[in-house]
A and B are shown apart, each in its own frame.
Chain A
Amino acid sequence: MGREQQQVSYTVEQLVSVNPYNPDILTDLENYVNEQVSSQTYSLDANLCLLRLYQFEPGRMSIPIVVQILIKALMAMPASDFSLCLFLIPEQVQMEEKFKTLIVLSHYLETARFRQFWDEAAKSRSILEVVPGFEQAIQAYAIHVLSLTYQKVPRPVLAEAINIEGLSLDKFIEHHVANSGWVLEKSHGRSQLIVLPRNEFNHPELQKHTAEGVPFEHVTRIFPMLS
């Protein structure tokens, strides 16, 4: 069964790269969206292709499919896939309740308002639960933003960002200490501090300064003088 699914998605990807401007592949692309949802995979190119076809033939647009595409795009953050999809959806369609909710959720994530995001997500559980893996994907995004920003992040900040508290949070942190290079520290008296792994964004000294090299072609200009 899995093998067969593997073959279908290979064909869809081929279609998208070889023959994308073709109304006949619309149903295949819709099925592929459902498949991405159920198998927790993702293809921006295929989904943009489908949104374009909907643009060409608005009568064939399926709101549930577009909702799924947008949720998958949210899960791709920090990439700006969500805006890329919105660029292709007509204004009137974006007025639908479900889309308005998703746009609000995107807004909270873009402006790092995690507490408001998780509150709103809880209220919109019925829309979001159609896509498995949503929570984990957003938590991964939250950790990404924290890793850009903090060398040492206080526990309450982490808790709010990933919407996990108490014992579950302990377990979560333990897991990342074991697998992702996190380190626990005690801050002066108060809460725990989580030391995040070093990268070039929270440790600027690690930034590679690419401008220091000189391209070879420039050096060749003085060869005539050296001889």
Chain B
Amino acid sequence: MASSYDYDDASLDSRHTRPPSAGQGSAGTDQGYDPNFVPDSVKTFVVHLYRHIREKNVYEIHQMYDGSFQRLSDRMFRESPWPSVEAIAPYVDNDHVFCLLYREMWFRHLYARLSPTGRQRVESWDNYCSLFSVVLHGVVNMQLPNQWLWDMVDEFVYQFQSYCQYRAKLKNKTEEELQLLRQYDQAWNVYGVLNYLQALVEKSAITDVLEREKEGLEQFAATDGYDYEGGTSNVLKMLGYYSMIGLLRVHCLLGDYHTGLKCLAPIDISQQGVYNVVIGSHISTIYHYGFANLMLRRYVEAIREFNKILLYILKYKQFHQKSPQYDQILKKNEQMYALLAICLSLCPQNNLVEENVNSQLRDKYNEKMTKMLRYDDEAYAVYDELFTYACPKFITPSAPVLEEPLTNYNQDAYRLQLKLFLYEVKQQQLLSGVRSFLKLYSTISIGKLAAYMEVDEPTLRTILMTYKHKMHAVDGDGKIIPNADVDFYISEDIVHVVESKPTKRYGDYFLRQILKFEEMIGELDRIKMD
């Protein structure tokens, strides 16, 4: 199944776009890079950042983290790493925690602009272990901006995913690289990654905080997770919160969608919450939530959530144009349109998609959606293409076998998920035909319908039952949720069709009009006639 989209494209994660020239060689071998040279602007940067962290000026920290760091990177470190942590340490009293934070940023910059070596990947793992250990021991008393804390968890999971891909490509590895893999076999091991995330969730007692918040006993979302009055550290709490999203993401990468959703369960995504304060975390949450629901065949749920986030992005993306996350936002946006197209082809719905989102969707995928509804070979090619484009970067979590024959198996996990997804699509092959026929009749006998569809009666009965089964998903509590816009029931030999009418929301309509007219009256009152 040749797909026009190359799954293995390394620049898929567009947050990490690399300028063309940076492809050659690995970081640190660029001519003129001296890890010990600290330009004045960097000196000033670390000194100020260190002071702000000590003084808990969250706003200034955020300005420096989000703004100055990017500007300096663009100006001076486009194609080389920042100065080494050893070089800047003297300017910040050799503060252990600050150095861990600086190193985390240092590696993140490396991954984004350059190509990390095997050794650097391992060193980054060590740094995360140290950083998380410090936080877990509860000795941290800083307040950091949510953007930074989210980026830490997000990057942690990203580097894990990247490492799994890296070590699954054995064919062209040098002996030195293989030796490194043998020696540091604990780096980025899946148990470690999962257990750190789990430990952050547990140690922060974040699920208790969320429970108490629901009962009105605690402020959390109201202050965006910060403690403005008491000044207690928000680091462990927020890392715990974001780790729930991190766990959802890791489980999706493993193909365990059910457990992923369970990890996210303490966060109520039907409400506003801390997860949508940082746009990156908002998008990552909904993207993975929607994808998991798609694989669990809960299409209506997926459509609802994709619709909401796509509308949000449509309205607010202009405000993020200057931010370093902009590319990633756009990328996820496109992927979610593809997933929405898939969901709507498998489970057509009339009223779930907002007007503007729908017109964007039609612009991008109208032709492809028509093709997908045909369920022929061309349709499968389209499903294949869209799934490949939009799916997460699935991983093989087990340790590599470092003996001959050395192969590349980094695509195995993806191929399995794709295969099972297309298998599900195939099982729904005949349902589209049934749907179009059902829309034409209010009642029809089994015999007649079988004749029109050119199948015998027993086969038709199985098709109708399959339709019923596939269109009724089972949710997390075991309840049956109907997904179909066209439904039916059979009484002996007659099929009675029931089309769900869009429910007219009179209540909402009147409320909106009342508010609008009040506004108009207010405006008229304000007009002074001279």
Contacts and interface: CB of A to CB of B under 8 A. Distances in A.
Please report whether the interface of chain B is mostly helix, strand, loop or mixed according to DSSP: helix
Interface of A: 20-23, 44-45, 48-49, 51-52, 55-58, 78-80, 83-84, 86-88, 90-91, 107, 110-115, 145-146, 148-154, 157, 187, 193, 200-204, 207, 209, 211-214, 218-219, 221-222, 225
A152 B474 contact: no
A56 B398 contact: yes
A173 B424 CA distance: 34
B256 A87 contact: yes
B469 A110 contact: yes
Contact of A211 (B474, B492, B503, B515): B503
B347 interface: no
Interface string B218-256: 000000000000000000000000000000000000111
A218 B507 CA distance: 9
B255 to A, nearest CB: 4
Interface residues of B, number: 56
Interface of B: 190-191, 194-195, 198, 254-259, 262, 295-297, 397-398, 412, 415-417, 419-420, 424, 427, 458, 461-466, 468-470, 472-474, 478, 480, 482, 487, 489-493, 498, 503, 505, 507-508, 511, 514-515, 518
B457 to A, nearest CB: 10
Contacts of A114: 462
* In the complex, the 6 A-B pairs of residues with the closest C-beta atoms, listed nearest first: A214-B507, A112-B465, A87-B255, A21-B194, A204-B498, A211-B503
B127 to A, nearest CB: 21
Contacts of B296: 80, 84
Contact of A111 (B416, B417, B466): B466
Contact of B474 (A55, A80, A204, A214): A80
Contacts of A87: 255-257, 295, 416-417, 420
A88 B190 CA distance: 15
Given A56-B190, A88-B254, A157-B461, A201 B469 contact: no
Given A84-B258, A110-B466, A150 B490 contact: yes
A91 B491 contact: no
A214 B504 CA distance: 12
Interface centre among B194, B416, B514 (most CB of A within 10 A): B416
B202 to A, nearest CB: 8
A148 B468 contact: yes
A83 B469 CA distance: 15
